[in-house]
Amino acid sequence: MILGIDSSAITAGCALYDSGRVIAEQFLNTKHTHSQTLLPMVENMLKSAEVSLSDVETIAVTAGPGSFTGLRIGIASVKGMAMGAGKRCVSVSTLEAIAYNFVGVDGIICCAMDARCGQVYNALFRSENGIITRLCEDRAIKAVDLYEELKKLDGSIILAGDGAEILHKATEESFTLAPLPLRYQRGLGVCLAAEGKESIDAAALMPSYLRLPQAERERLEREKEN
């Protein structure tokens, strides 16, 4: 049984998955901070499903890219749960978790998260015959540059993630915007992306930001000017 957790953006989600069966799932899209909502949501889901943490084999979590604060809250929460219960963890790319919402939907899945400053965090995946295949590594890329790349690809292209609407406008609505039930990262996508991946000790779980924090980037820029 896998417990999947995501708090990488404004949304938050968790799910329980076991050998092809979705046991339970919860999703929130509110303005409350994940430090207030994440653990109570997980606790409520486990209680409703009559499952204890001892029944869970692995805890999977999105480690990035995404909101720096959101990622830290999710990873810290998982570390605490895993260490306390003696469980192993799986680190999952947020973008890959989004792609796994589209198992059974054929096409190229362009996963994009708002990275501000005209950029998106992005990765491309092919969904075909129920199999998700990664086409490129996670990256931070300008929306206009991604548009030029997408124009060269053949086949149906679906835009997903919290940056999908931004990308949809930037690409002059040339590609399909994923429907709301599939657009955002969910706990089930985390579980599916984690299935078959090697587990690690909770102490080794670390966030993957892709970019330096804004304060750090500004500091380096000032040093360069001086």
Q: Over the stretch 139-187, which tens digit does the pLDDT of each residue have?
A: 999 999 999 999 999 999 999 999 999 899 888 889 999 999 999 999 9
What's the predicted TM-score (pTM) here?
0.93
Distance linking the first and last C-alpha atoms of the chain: 54
User: In order of start, what are the domains of the chain with their CATH numbers?
Assistant: 2-95+185-212 (3.30.420.40), 96-183 (3.30.420.40)
For 99-151, the pLDDT digits (tens) are 999 999 999 999 999 998 889 999 999 999 999 999 999 999 999 999 999 99
Residue 218 has pLDDT above 70, yes or no: no
Q: What is the DSSP letter of 198?
A: P
Q: What is the DSSP string of 114-125?
A: E-STTEEEEEEE
- Pairing, β 119-128 against β 107-114: antiparallel
Closest by Cα among 152, 149, 147, 151 to 164: 147
CA distance 126 to 209: 24
pLDDT surpassing 90 at residue 31: no
Considering only residues 226 and 187, tell me which one the structure prediction assigns the higher pLDDT. 187
Which residues make Cβ contacts (< 8 Å) with residue 208, sequence separation at least 6?
63, 64, 65, 91, 93, 138
Q: How many whole angstroms separate alpha carbon 219 and alpha carbon 222?
A: 5
Strands 88-93 and 58-64: parallel
216 pLDDT higher than 70: no
